[in-house]
Amino acid sequence: MIKIGFVTCVQLGLSCMEALHEAGGQLSFAMTLEDDQAVNKSGRVYLDDFCECHSVPLLKSRHVNNCDVIEAIKSHELDWLFIIGWSQIASEDLLRSPKRGVLGMHPTLLPQGRGRAAIPWAILKGLDKTGVTLFKLDTGVDTGPIVDQVVIPLSSSTNAQELYQSVNKAHIALMRKVVPVLMADKLNLQEQDRSLATEWPGRRPEDGQIDLNGSVYDAEKLVRAVTRPYPGAFYLNEGKKIVVWKAQTTESPSVNALEFKDGWLELIEFEVSRSF
């Protein structure tokens, strides 16, 4: 019997755990943070009820690389360990602890878009599609062999909130698809084509500043790319920071419109954040 473990502390990870069980899988171990950690993290959840309901041994630890976690993985004789929605980087010791390895997901079509800020970058780059990749973790950054992918089409109006929801659904779809294969021990790994690899850098809240001297089309794209659940696009006006959550290009000015060299940006949803 293939033994599977899971590491998560967010709703997306819990949804994947639920999908795993719905697909006929059985967890032999779960690990999460201590209750007092990451209490303000977006999507933070607690696994106690799920693990009690499904009789899954649950370990709480302050870091995934701690000795108690590695010892627990080995003692439960796990074949595979999923790490989903987790910000701590897995050590080599952890990656070697399950018999067959550690699996994770990345919200791009690897090898494209290794790195950070996958959802904003997919929109900013004007891609016509992105997706989610299930892959085996190695010591590199999103470089491990691919298990499977789900493609997510993008349009010229897709915003970060919509893509975020699509990415979540793709995670669950991948989990449901791979579990029967995993349990049958028929997982097929495909090495990434390094010649096609691209790396996307992290983004900071200040990267959301709208260039009022630039193109209106770039500004509109930026608004869509960093709207909720991200910090939002913004511009400065008389010492105030105006955060723009929704906007559209227009050929004529209006009361709530910003002028650019190649058109106008009509602000549909915005707020005065604070003095800057």
> What per-residue confidence (pLDDT) applies to 252?
83
Give the dihedral sign, CA 227/159/235/269. Answer: negative
- Residue 111, preceding peptide bond in cis (omega within 30° of 0): yes
Residue that the structure tokens 């809240």 belong to: 205
Walk along the chain (276 residues) in steps of 10 and give the mean pLDDT of each run: 96 96 96 96 94 98 97 98 94 97 97 96 98 96 96 97 96 96 95 97 95 97 96 93 96 90 96 73
> What per-residue confidence (pLDDT) applies to 254?
84
Could you say which DSSP state residue 207 is in?
A: G
State the Cα–Cα distance between residues 6 and 55, nearest whole angstrom: 14
State the Cα–Cα distance between residues 81 and 74, nearest whole angstrom: 11
- At the topology level of CATH, where does 4-199 sit? Rossmann fold (3.40.50)
Q: Which two tokens stand for residue 92?
A: 């080599």
Instruction: Enumerate residues 6+ apart whose C-beta is below 8 A from 77.
Output: 3, 99
State the Cα–Cα distance between residues 72 and 266, nearest whole angstrom: 55
> What per-residue confidence (pLDDT) applies to 42?
82
* Residue 193 phi, psi (nearest 5): -85, 105
CB atoms closer than 10 angstroms to residue 68: 13
Q: Which CATH architecture has domain 205-275?
A: Roll (3.10)
Dihedral-angle region of residue 89 (phi above 0 means left; psi in -120 to 50 means alpha; beta otherwise): beta
Domain boundaries in the chain? 4-199, 205-275
